[in-house]
């Protein structure tokens, strides 16, 4: 018997020996799960501020989240002017792909070309985020009929809008939302957690932005919706 066959035999012997008789006491499993969660508060990292909006926006300071900037706006009607300022800052024309969702279409995009082909180079997209997460500075995007998943990956610049009311404290808070969606059979096809612009250090440890997605991420927090 060669060494590989011998190793396989050892593995299968172990499975046969220990693979049966697994404790299926559901109540005991629930108790053990509750014990694991009992000290979850101690396991969570401290937020950067007590206020969730401040904790979230401070994640984008001092390059804590790579390639990402963040601004706060009073309401949706302030968004086009903020987008224009962003475009001017980067020397870009007034051309953006706006996700055709109700919230974003409530803004006045009259002075913009809003049907840009994001497969072209150097494009800008404006999308609606479902949630923001203060712990990590992540934004969560769900695919839908009005949110094709490629809108999050193809543009060079991605501007994501998140309402103040949808900013959560910790990643596991969003995990609870995802579990609820699954139980209600309402899980989107894609649930994207985006933390910063795309980047890789695969080649000689040098950071290259925009390798697998947008090179620039701009997060807009709406204080009122």
Q: Cα(154)–Cα(157) distance, rounded to whole angstroms?
A: 9
Q: Which long-range contacts (CB under 8 A, 24 or more apart) does 102-108 make?
A: 103/76, 103/128, 103/161, 103/225, 104/76, 104/79, 104/128, 104/161, 106/76, 106/77, 107/76, 107/77, 107/79, 107/80, 108/77, 108/80
Q: Are residues 154 and 62 in the same domain?
A: yes
Are residues 23 and 98 located together in one domain of the fold? Answer: no
Residue 155 is predicted with a pLDDT of 95
pTM, to two decimals: 0.81
Regarding whether 70 and 15 lie in a shared domain, the answer is no
Distance of CA 164 to the CA centre of its chain: 15
pLDDT tens for each residue of 162-179: 999 999 999 999 999 999
Residues 91 and 55 in one domain: yes
Print the domain residue range for 156: 45-222
pLDDT value, residue 62: 86
The answer to whether residues 166 and 108 belong to one domain is: yes
Task: For residues 102 and 30, give the distance between their C-alpha atoms in angstroms, rounded to a whole number.
Answer: 42
Q: Tell whether 164 and 216 lie within a shared domain.
A: yes
Do 111 and 202 fall within a single domain? yes
pLDDT for the residue 58: 97
Do 63 and 139 fall into the same domain? yes
- Give yes or no: residues 155 and 193 share one domain: yes
CA–CA gap between residue 180 and residue 174 (Å, rounded)? 10
Residue segments in the chain with a per-residue pLDDT below the cut of 50: none
Do residues 147 and 103 share a domain? yes
What CATH number has the domain bearing residue 55? 3.40.50.10420
Domain count, the chain: 2
Per-residue model confidence (pLDDT) at position 2: 62
pLDDT in tens, 83-128: 999 999 999 999 999 999 999 999 999 999 998 998 888 899 999 9
Residue 148 sits in the same domain as residue 107: yes
CA 98 – CA 113 distance, rounded (Å): 9
CA pair distance 24, 221, nearest whole angstrom: 46
Task: Please tell me whether residues 147 and 178 are part of one structural domain.
Answer: yes
């Amino acid at each position: 018997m060669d060494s590989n066959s011998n190793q396989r035999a050892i593995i299968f012997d172990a499975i046969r020996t220990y693979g049966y008789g697994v404790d299926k006491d559901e109540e005991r499993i629930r108790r053990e799960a509750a014990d694991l969660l009992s000290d979850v508060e101690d396991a969570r990292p401290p937020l950067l501020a007590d206020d969730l909006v401040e904790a979230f926006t401070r994640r984008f300071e001092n390059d804590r989240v790579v390639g990402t900037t963040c601004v706060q706006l009073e309401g949706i009607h302030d968004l086009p002017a903020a987008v224009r300022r962003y475009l001017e800052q980067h020397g870009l024309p007034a051309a953006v792909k706006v996700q055709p969702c109700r919230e974003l279409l409530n803004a006045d995009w009259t002075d913009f070309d809003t049907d840009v082909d994001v497969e072209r180079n150097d494009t800008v997209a404006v999308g609606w985020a479902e949630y923001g997460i203060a712990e990590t500075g992540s934004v969560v995007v769900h695919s839908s009929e009005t949110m094709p998943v490629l809108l999050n990956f193809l543009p060079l610049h991605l501007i994501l809008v998140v309402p103040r009311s949808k900013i959560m404290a910790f990643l596991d808070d969003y995990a609870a939302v995802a579990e609820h969606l699954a139980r209600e059979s309402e899980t989107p096809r894609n649930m994207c957690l985006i933390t910063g612009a795309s980047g890789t250090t695969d080649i000689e440890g040098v950071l290259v932005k925009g390798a697998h997605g947008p090179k620039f991420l701009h997060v807009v927090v709406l204080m009122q919706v």
